[in-house]
Amino acid sequence: MKLIYEGKAKRLYETEEPNEVLMEFKDDATAFNGAKKASFADKGRINKTLSVLLYEMLENEGVPTHFLRDHGENSIIVRRVEIVQIELVMRNIVAGSLAKRTGLPEGQKLRQPIIETYYKDDQLGDPLVTDEHIRELNLARPDELEKIKRSGLKVNNILTRFFGKAGLTLVDFKLEYGRLFPNKHNIVLADEISPDTCRLWDAATGAKMDKDLFRQDLGDLITGYSEILTRVQNALAS
Ligand code: TMP
Protein backbone atom coordinates (compact mmCIF):
# COMPACT_ATOMS: atom_id res chain seq x y z
CA MET A 1 0.00 0.00 0.00
CA LYS A 2 1.32 3.44 -0.86
CA LEU A 3 1.67 5.79 2.08
CA ILE A 4 0.16 9.19 1.28
CA TYR A 5 0.82 10.95 4.56
CA GLU A 6 2.07 10.19 8.06
CA GLY A 7 1.05 12.42 10.94
CA LYS A 8 1.74 12.18 14.66
CA ALA A 9 -1.16 9.80 15.39
CA LYS A 10 -2.32 8.51 11.99
CA ARG A 11 -1.18 7.25 8.60
CA LEU A 12 -3.05 7.60 5.31
CA TYR A 13 -2.70 5.05 2.49
CA GLU A 14 -3.96 4.92 -1.06
CA THR A 15 -6.56 2.28 -1.96
CA GLU A 16 -7.65 0.94 -5.36
CA GLU A 17 -10.40 3.56 -5.34
CA PRO A 18 -8.92 6.97 -6.25
CA ASN A 19 -11.37 8.82 -4.01
CA GLU A 20 -11.08 6.50 -1.01
CA VAL A 21 -8.26 6.49 1.51
CA LEU A 22 -7.31 4.09 4.29
CA MET A 23 -6.77 5.86 7.61
CA GLU A 24 -4.71 3.95 10.18
CA PHE A 25 -4.75 4.97 13.84
CA LYS A 26 -1.32 4.65 15.49
CA ASP A 27 -0.60 3.81 19.13
CA ASP A 28 1.71 6.85 19.29
CA ALA A 29 0.76 9.93 21.28
CA THR A 30 2.42 13.32 21.22
CA ALA A 31 1.83 16.53 23.14
CA PHE A 32 3.12 20.10 23.03
CA ASN A 33 3.60 20.00 19.25
CA GLY A 34 5.55 16.76 19.31
CA ALA A 35 7.90 17.73 22.16
CA LYS A 36 6.52 14.93 24.36
CA LYS A 37 6.14 11.46 22.84
CA ALA A 38 5.05 8.00 23.94
CA SER A 39 3.34 4.91 22.61
CA PHE A 40 0.37 3.17 24.27
CA ALA A 41 -0.55 -0.37 23.21
CA ASP A 42 -4.20 -0.50 22.06
CA LYS A 43 -4.66 3.29 21.74
CA GLY A 44 -5.03 3.03 17.96
CA ARG A 45 -7.80 0.44 18.20
CA ILE A 46 -9.70 2.36 20.92
CA ASN A 47 -9.52 5.67 19.04
CA LYS A 48 -10.52 3.99 15.80
CA THR A 49 -13.51 2.34 17.45
CA LEU A 50 -14.64 5.58 19.11
CA SER A 51 -14.23 7.55 15.89
CA VAL A 52 -16.36 5.01 14.00
CA LEU A 53 -19.16 5.10 16.60
CA LEU A 54 -19.15 8.91 16.76
CA TYR A 55 -18.96 9.38 12.98
CA GLU A 56 -21.90 6.99 12.51
CA MET A 57 -23.90 8.93 15.08
CA LEU A 58 -23.09 12.27 13.45
CA GLU A 59 -23.98 10.97 9.98
CA ASN A 60 -27.32 9.74 11.39
CA GLU A 61 -27.92 13.23 12.76
CA GLY A 62 -27.26 14.78 9.34
CA VAL A 63 -23.63 15.87 9.69
CA PRO A 64 -21.68 14.97 6.53
CA THR A 65 -18.33 13.33 7.34
CA HIS A 66 -15.50 11.64 5.46
CA PHE A 67 -16.31 8.27 7.07
CA LEU A 68 -17.22 5.40 4.74
CA ARG A 69 -16.65 2.12 6.60
CA ASP A 70 -14.77 0.23 9.27
CA HIS A 71 -11.66 -1.64 8.13
CA GLY A 72 -10.20 -4.03 10.71
CA GLU A 73 -8.42 -3.40 14.02
CA ASN A 74 -6.85 0.02 13.57
CA SER A 75 -8.15 1.35 10.27
CA ILE A 76 -11.12 2.88 8.52
CA ILE A 77 -11.88 3.77 4.92
CA VAL A 78 -12.64 7.45 4.40
CA ARG A 79 -13.47 9.67 1.47
CA ARG A 80 -10.50 11.49 0.01
CA VAL A 81 -10.44 15.14 1.01
CA GLU A 82 -8.16 18.14 0.86
CA ILE A 83 -7.81 19.11 4.52
CA VAL A 84 -8.69 22.71 5.33
CA GLN A 85 -5.68 24.01 7.27
CA ILE A 86 -7.81 25.19 10.19
CA GLU A 87 -8.33 23.44 13.53
CA LEU A 88 -11.76 24.31 14.85
CA VAL A 89 -11.88 24.15 18.66
CA MET A 90 -15.25 24.14 20.41
CA ARG A 91 -15.31 24.86 24.14
CA ASN A 92 -18.02 24.43 26.77
CA ILE A 93 -15.90 24.63 29.92
CA VAL A 94 -12.66 26.48 30.63
CA ALA A 95 -9.55 24.29 30.32
CA GLY A 96 -6.19 24.05 28.57
CA SER A 97 -5.03 27.00 26.49
CA LEU A 98 -8.21 28.99 27.19
CA ALA A 99 -7.39 29.02 30.91
CA LYS A 100 -3.79 30.00 30.10
CA ARG A 101 -4.74 32.72 27.63
CA THR A 102 -7.51 34.36 29.64
CA GLY A 103 -6.81 33.53 33.29
CA LEU A 104 -10.33 32.12 33.63
CA PRO A 105 -10.38 29.24 36.14
CA GLU A 106 -10.30 25.69 34.82
CA GLY A 107 -13.70 24.04 35.20
CA GLN A 108 -15.75 27.22 34.89
CA LYS A 109 -18.76 26.64 32.65
CA LEU A 110 -18.88 29.04 29.70
CA ARG A 111 -22.08 31.05 29.28
CA GLN A 112 -22.11 30.08 25.61
CA PRO A 113 -19.90 27.68 23.67
CA ILE A 114 -16.75 29.36 22.36
CA ILE A 115 -15.56 28.72 18.81
CA GLU A 116 -11.86 29.15 18.11
CA THR A 117 -9.86 28.73 14.92
CA TYR A 118 -6.21 27.70 14.83
CA TYR A 119 -3.88 27.74 11.81
CA LYS A 120 -2.84 24.12 11.29
CA ASP A 121 0.89 24.67 10.88
CA ASP A 122 3.35 22.72 13.05
CA GLN A 123 6.25 25.09 12.25
CA LEU A 124 4.27 27.99 13.69
CA GLY A 125 2.91 25.86 16.56
CA ASP A 126 -0.73 26.02 15.39
CA PRO A 127 -1.44 29.67 16.36
CA LEU A 128 -4.92 31.02 17.15
CA VAL A 129 -6.15 32.98 14.12
CA THR A 130 -9.05 35.35 13.48
CA ASP A 131 -11.41 35.36 10.48
CA GLU A 132 -9.30 38.15 8.99
CA HIS A 133 -6.13 36.08 9.34
CA ILE A 134 -7.91 33.18 7.68
CA ARG A 135 -8.97 35.43 4.81
CA GLU A 136 -5.48 36.87 4.38
CA LEU A 137 -3.85 33.41 4.54
CA ASN A 138 -6.46 32.02 2.12
CA LEU A 139 -7.17 29.08 4.43
CA ALA A 140 -10.89 29.00 3.61
CA ARG A 141 -13.41 31.08 1.71
CA PRO A 142 -15.86 33.05 3.89
CA ASP A 143 -18.74 30.70 2.94
CA GLU A 144 -16.61 27.66 3.81
CA LEU A 145 -15.64 29.13 7.18
CA GLU A 146 -19.29 29.90 7.88
CA LYS A 147 -20.24 26.29 7.06
CA ILE A 148 -17.43 24.92 9.22
CA LYS A 149 -18.43 27.01 12.25
CA ARG A 150 -22.12 26.11 11.85
CA SER A 151 -21.19 22.43 11.63
CA GLY A 152 -18.97 22.77 14.72
CA LEU A 153 -21.87 24.14 16.76
CA LYS A 154 -24.13 21.32 15.59
CA VAL A 155 -21.51 18.67 16.37
CA ASN A 156 -21.05 20.24 19.80
CA ASN A 157 -24.79 19.99 20.52
CA ILE A 158 -24.98 16.35 19.41
CA LEU A 159 -21.83 15.23 21.21
CA THR A 160 -22.51 17.15 24.44
CA ARG A 161 -25.94 15.52 24.72
CA PHE A 162 -24.62 12.07 23.86
CA PHE A 163 -21.57 12.14 26.18
CA GLY A 164 -23.90 13.42 28.92
CA LYS A 165 -25.88 10.19 28.56
CA ALA A 166 -22.60 8.31 28.90
CA GLY A 167 -21.77 10.07 32.19
CA LEU A 168 -19.08 12.20 30.57
CA THR A 169 -18.68 15.97 30.39
CA LEU A 170 -17.52 17.24 27.00
CA VAL A 171 -15.22 20.08 28.06
CA ASP A 172 -13.80 20.97 24.63
CA PHE A 173 -12.69 19.33 21.41
CA LYS A 174 -10.95 19.91 18.08
CA LEU A 175 -12.42 19.27 14.64
CA GLU A 176 -10.95 19.30 11.16
CA TYR A 177 -12.75 19.64 7.85
CA GLY A 178 -11.91 18.66 4.29
CA ARG A 179 -12.96 19.49 0.75
CA LEU A 180 -14.27 16.37 -0.96
CA PHE A 181 -12.45 15.11 -4.03
CA PRO A 182 -12.65 15.34 -6.95
CA ASN A 183 -14.23 18.78 -7.28
CA LYS A 184 -13.59 20.07 -3.72
CA HIS A 185 -16.92 21.90 -3.63
CA ASN A 186 -18.31 20.14 -0.57
CA ILE A 187 -16.94 20.44 2.95
CA VAL A 188 -17.18 17.44 5.28
CA LEU A 189 -16.02 16.66 8.79
CA ALA A 190 -12.70 14.78 8.61
CA ASP A 191 -9.77 13.57 10.76
CA GLU A 192 -10.78 11.80 14.01
CA ILE A 193 -12.97 12.26 17.08
CA SER A 194 -11.35 10.53 20.03
CA PRO A 195 -9.95 11.17 23.51
CA ASP A 196 -6.83 12.46 21.70
CA THR A 197 -8.92 15.34 20.38
CA CYS A 198 -11.64 15.81 23.03
CA ARG A 199 -11.41 16.71 26.72
CA LEU A 200 -13.78 14.41 28.59
CA TRP A 201 -14.27 14.48 32.36
CA ASP A 202 -16.17 12.03 34.52
CA ALA A 203 -19.51 13.80 35.05
CA ALA A 204 -19.71 12.63 38.68
CA THR A 205 -16.14 13.27 39.92
CA GLY A 206 -14.62 15.62 37.34
CA ALA A 207 -11.75 13.16 36.82
CA LYS A 208 -9.90 13.67 33.53
CA MET A 209 -10.12 10.68 31.18
CA ASP A 210 -8.64 12.01 27.92
CA LYS A 211 -5.17 12.85 26.58
CA ASP A 212 -4.60 15.29 29.44
CA LEU A 213 -3.73 12.11 31.40
CA PHE A 214 -0.62 11.98 29.21
CA ARG A 215 -0.10 15.73 28.70
CA GLN A 216 -0.16 16.39 32.46
CA ASP A 217 1.13 12.99 33.70
CA LEU A 218 -2.08 12.38 35.64
CA GLY A 219 -2.43 8.61 35.27
CA ASP A 220 -2.75 5.70 32.88
CA LEU A 221 -4.00 6.84 29.49
CA ILE A 222 -5.39 3.47 28.40
CA THR A 223 -7.44 3.13 31.61
CA GLY A 224 -9.15 6.43 30.81
CA TYR A 225 -9.62 5.72 27.10
CA SER A 226 -11.02 2.20 27.75
CA GLU A 227 -13.49 3.57 30.27
CA ILE A 228 -14.66 6.20 27.75
CA LEU A 229 -15.15 3.48 25.11
CA THR A 230 -17.10 1.25 27.52
CA ARG A 231 -19.38 4.13 28.54
CA VAL A 232 -19.97 5.16 24.92
CA GLN A 233 -20.84 1.59 23.95
CA ASN A 234 -23.21 1.27 26.93
CA ALA A 235 -24.89 4.59 26.14
CA LEU A 236 -25.42 3.50 22.51
CA ALA A 237 -26.89 0.17 23.65
CA SER A 238 -29.33 1.74 26.12
P1 TMP B 1 -6.18 23.51 23.98
O2 TMP B 1 -6.90 23.87 25.24
O3 TMP B 1 -4.79 22.95 24.24
O4 TMP B 1 -6.17 24.63 23.00
O5 TMP B 1 -6.99 22.30 23.31
C6 TMP B 1 -8.34 22.45 22.97
C7 TMP B 1 -8.88 21.12 22.49
O8 TMP B 1 -8.30 20.73 21.27
C9 TMP B 1 -8.65 19.96 23.44
O10 TMP B 1 -9.82 19.14 23.47
C11 TMP B 1 -7.52 19.18 22.84
C12 TMP B 1 -7.66 19.46 21.37
N13 TMP B 1 -6.38 19.56 20.71
C14 TMP B 1 -6.09 18.71 19.66
O15 TMP B 1 -6.88 17.84 19.30
N16 TMP B 1 -4.89 18.85 19.03
C17 TMP B 1 -3.98 19.79 19.38
O18 TMP B 1 -2.91 19.86 18.77
C19 TMP B 1 -4.29 20.68 20.47
C20 TMP B 1 -3.33 21.74 20.90
C21 TMP B 1 -5.51 20.52 21.09
**Among the atoms of ligand 1, which is closest to the Cα of residue 174?**
8
User: pLDDT category, 11, cuts 50, 70, 90?
Assistant: very high
**According to the model, what pLDDT value does residue 13 have?**
98
pLDDT of residue 210: 98
The rounded percent of the chain whose pLDDT value lies above 70 is: 100
Report the nearest atom of ligand 1 relative to the CA of 197. Answer: 15
Residue 86 binned pLDDT confidence (cut-offs 50, 70, 90) = very high
Q: What is the pLDDT of residue 233?
A: 98
* pLDDT per position as a tens digit, 147-180: 999 999 999 999 999 999 999 999 999 999 999 9
Nearest CA to ligand 1 atom 2: 96
* pLDDT the model gives residue 95: 98
- State residue 124's pLDDT score: 97
For the chain, the average pLDDT equals 98
Pocket lined around ligand 1, Cβ cut-off 6 Å = 89, 95-98, 126, 172-174, 197-199
pLDDT for the residue numbered 58 = 98
Confidence of residue 207 (pLDDT cuts 50, 70, 90): very high
- Residue 138 falls in which region: left (phi positive, over 0), alpha (psi -120 to 50) or beta: left
Indicate the top mutation candidate among 172, 201, 212, 215 to test ligand 1's pocket, ranked by most ligand atoms within 8 A of CB. 172
CA of 235 to the centre of ligand 1 (A): 25
Find the mean pLDDT for residues 222-234.
98
- pLDDT at residue 195, rounded to an integer: 98
